[in-house]
Structure 1
Amino acid sequence: MQTDAIPMTKSISNLMLPESHTPLPLNSSTTDVSRQLSRIQSNVTWEENFYETTRLITGLYLFPVFCVAGIIGNMLAFIVFVRAKQKSSTNIYLTTLALSDTFKLLCDFLYFITVLLEYIGKSDASDTVFGTLYPYAHYILNFSVCNTAWLTVSVAIERYIYMKWPERAVTMCTITRAKITCCVVWLSSMLIAVPFVLRYQKTTENFNGTLSVTDLWSDKNFTTPFVLFQNIIRSLVPLMVLVIVNGWIIKELWKMSRRGYRRPLDCKNRVTIMLVAIIIAFLVCVTPDAIISLKNFGYADATYLVRGIREITDLLLCLNSAINFFLYFGFNKVFRDNFKQVFCKRPPYEHVSIKEDGVT
């Protein structure tokens, strides 16, 4: 996600979540979205029209749908994992992943609120509220993106160990080690994102939420290497590791399908296929943003075409945080049965117990 520096003083309405988003020119005399869309389609270049139309569709319509569905889905998944009778290391990873994705979606939902307030002519209220919230939300956003990436890497590596060395996995992939790994990932992500807390400061001469960039973030000697470091740590390295590990997992699945297995191992394979789907979704959703970020495309000085593309890549990041519950439900029958047991009070289905791999 974009993290380049912005001008020294800029209204919070121009600092919306995710950061790469900037507001459309607004006509405060109307709240009719269709009239807004008609306005932006005239007397502008095709690139500007592409950007403004894309931002309207993503920010006002798609973001709230993805955020609400994702937050509800992640909370449902969290409850199912926590209340699972058969605990496993995989459950620990997926539980913490649900929390991390929820934090990301809450920040994304603030972006929708900002767009909505502007379209109904409440820009002053937007400036006041988000002038207070944005510096903290900006930190949470960057922390959660990095955290989600490395939690996905962790569960992928664990799954490969299960596939490659099932006997060793019993002692290597324990619940205790999963908890320690999750704690290390969370703390590391929080520390790496600390400079984002120091990025903005509220100007004392204004009382409408106006923010300015701190001296630290105005220094290119700091921002250039730090932004590059962030892009490598939270995008490039996780993507490279996941491509390799996912390839290994798929290879092991192919070998197993050639030999054939009894039902207990088929249950394990279904869990593995579910995790492969999660990894593929991560790769598809995160790669476009990683590419455009690593190419060091700025936003404030970017073309309208690049801004429009960033609207789409930010939406894909939102989708990545919202989709996991539906993958669990679609690929994992055990998860569906536990979901029905928790929320519909149905008796549990008698599944074959797989102690070393029990995932709801």
Structure 2
Amino acid sequence: MTSRYNCSSADSWDCPQEGMCGNLTSDLNGSAGLVDACLTQEEYLEKYLGPLRSSVFLPICLTYLLIFLVGAFGNLLTCIVIARNKVMRTPTNYYLFSLAVSDLLVLLLGMPLELYEMWQNYPFLLGKGGCYFKTFLFETVCFASILNVTALSVERYIAVVHPLRAKYVVTPTHAKRVIMTVWGISVLCAVPNTSLHGIFTLQSAEGGTARKEIPESAICTLVKPRWMYNLTIQVTTLLFFMLPMLTISALYLLIGLQLKREKMLQVMEAETSRNSYCNIRSQQQKARRRQVTKMLFVLVVVFGICWAPFHTDRLMWSFIDEWTSIQLEVYKYVHVVSGVFFYLSSAVNPILYNLMSTRFREMFKEVMCHRPRHPVPRKQSLSVTRVTLRSILSEATPINGIAGLHEDKEHETTFP
């Protein structure tokens, strides 16, 4: 950037002398005040685009770096564990795998772009294509994350409340189809907001009719009418955050009621058949199912807490047209908090798996320590098979049906 005045000797206006600029209020070509012609290019860009570097860049950079290291390592580990171990390829874990991929995209591609913009707000060096990619990426992963969590909650609801349907719905094939649909919808719904953005550049404050664009002022921002952006943000927030979170809350309320009823029945059954092998086996299965549900419930709660500031940020920007100094101050903090929580949501899930799932914890240790898996001896394998067969025969009652067994077999190896 140069530090010379934005004045041209060929213009009809004369560049005023230093010290006289503060008294000038005339309008130049109907858009730029004559006072702008007195500013250096750095001052001119800062006046209309803000400071070149964010004032909170250093603390935010350190925070993002910590989140990046934890999140990238944890999500990559999650993907490796699910991909390498057949026992981990359950419908529930397929959704967790999709969520981990979404989080990795945010951390590996989205976070570096945002950090660069905080370090140097302008110019945006990736051009129009890079601007589209950045906006498209954030929109897609935003939609894919909430839809993955919603689909995961529906799967858990069916497995717990409607076990007879689980045989046909809670299957790996069905989970893969749902995940592909989720990503397809996310890509399509990311297009509208992406199309509203582009590269904007300021024009020089020179007089005359031939005003030039300043390449150093290029930024990736909204270039279409503001009302289109406002409508898009408000509709997508309603469809892809508020309604899904309400739906998820209702589903987990029903799941909680069902688990409470099952626990009461379990106490009654324990009193009548205390030494029954079938009763002990049933209690173990229900305990494992409660563990899965508890972990996923915590995941959803953390997800909602982390994403609420992000959508609050977007809604504030879309609803407020004339900003007061207080609103700007509040928005500044909301914007910083929303960014931290947005990326935190991409790093916290593997931590939850490690804390709340014994199987995930063991698999994580196995991958990190490079411990080989020891094959089960043949005799032991046959013994286990016979025990499993006896369990299936003894538990295939008209009440629970095969569906209940199918659901439990899928999850007992994943969350013991």
TM-score > 0.5 by shorter chain: yes
Partner letter of residue 148 of structure 1?
A: S
Partner of 1:222: 228
Aligned pair partner of 1:262 in 279, 283, 299: 283
Partner of 1:321: 346
Distance in 1 between residues matched to 2:65 and 2:332, nearest whole Å: 20
Partner of 1:68: 69
User: Larger C-alpha radius of gyration, 1 or 2?
Assistant: 2
SS at match of 1:321: coil
Give the number of equivalent residue pairs: 307
Contact 1:147 1:186 in 2 (8 A): yes
Of 100-109 and 317-326, more deviation after overlay is shown by 100-109
Distance in 2 between residues matched to 1:130 and 1:76, nearest whole Å: 34
Partner letter of residue 70 of structure 1?
A: G
Q: 1:88 to 1:183 in 2, by over 3 A?
A: same
Partner of 2:133: 136
Distance in 2 between residues matched to 1:180 and 1:263, nearest whole Å: 31
Q: CA deviation at 1:147?
A: 0.7
Aligned pair partner of 1:286 in 307, 315, 338: 307
Q: CA deviation at 1:322?
A: 1.2
Distance in 2 between residues matched to 1:212 and 1:67, nearest whole Å: 24
SS at match of 1:128: coil
Distance in 2 between residues matched to 1:241 and 1:233, nearest whole Å: 11
Q: 1:258 to 1:284 in 2, by over 3 A?
A: farther
Q: 1:113 to 1:233 in 2, by over 3 A?
A: same
Partner of 2:356: 331
Q: CA deviation at 1:315?
A: 1.4
Percent of aligned positions that are identical: 22
Distance in 2 between residues matched to 1:246 and 1:148, nearest whole Å: 18
Matches within 5 A, 1:10-49: 26=53
Q: CA deviation at 1:326?
A: 0.6
1:114 equivalent in alignment to 2:117: yes
Partner letter of residue 130 of structure 2?
A: L
Distance in 2 between residues matched to 1:92 and 1:108, nearest whole Å: 25
1:194-224 deviation digits (Å, cap 9, x = unpaired)? 123323334695555713657xx42244223
Aligned pair partner of 2:240 in 234, 245, 248: 234
Aligned pair partner of 1:175 in 172, 175, 191: 172
Q: Where do 5+ consecutive residues of structure 2 fail to align?
A: 1-41, 202-212, 267-281, 377-383, 389-407
Determine which structure has greater relative contact order: mean sequence separation of CA pairs < 8 Å that are 6+ residues apart, divided by chain length.
Answer: 1
SS at match of 1:218: coil
Q: CA deviation at 1:339?
A: 2.4
Distance in 1 between residues matched to 2:310 and 2:116, nearest whole Å: 23
Q: 1:24 to 1:329 in 2, by over 3 A?
A: farther
Contact 1:160 1:249 in 2 (8 A): yes
Root mean square deviation of aligned Cα = 3.3
Partner letter of residue 163 of structure 2?
A: P
1:147 equivalent in alignment to 2:144: yes
Distance in 2 between residues matched to 1:75 and 1:314, nearest whole Å: 22
Partner letter of residue 174 of structure 1?
A: T
Distance in 2 between residues matched to 1:340 and 1:193, nearest whole Å: 37
SS at match of 1:201: strand
Runs of 4+ residues over 6 Å off in structure 1: 348-353
Distance in 2 between residues matched to 1:85 and 1:184, nearest whole Å: 23
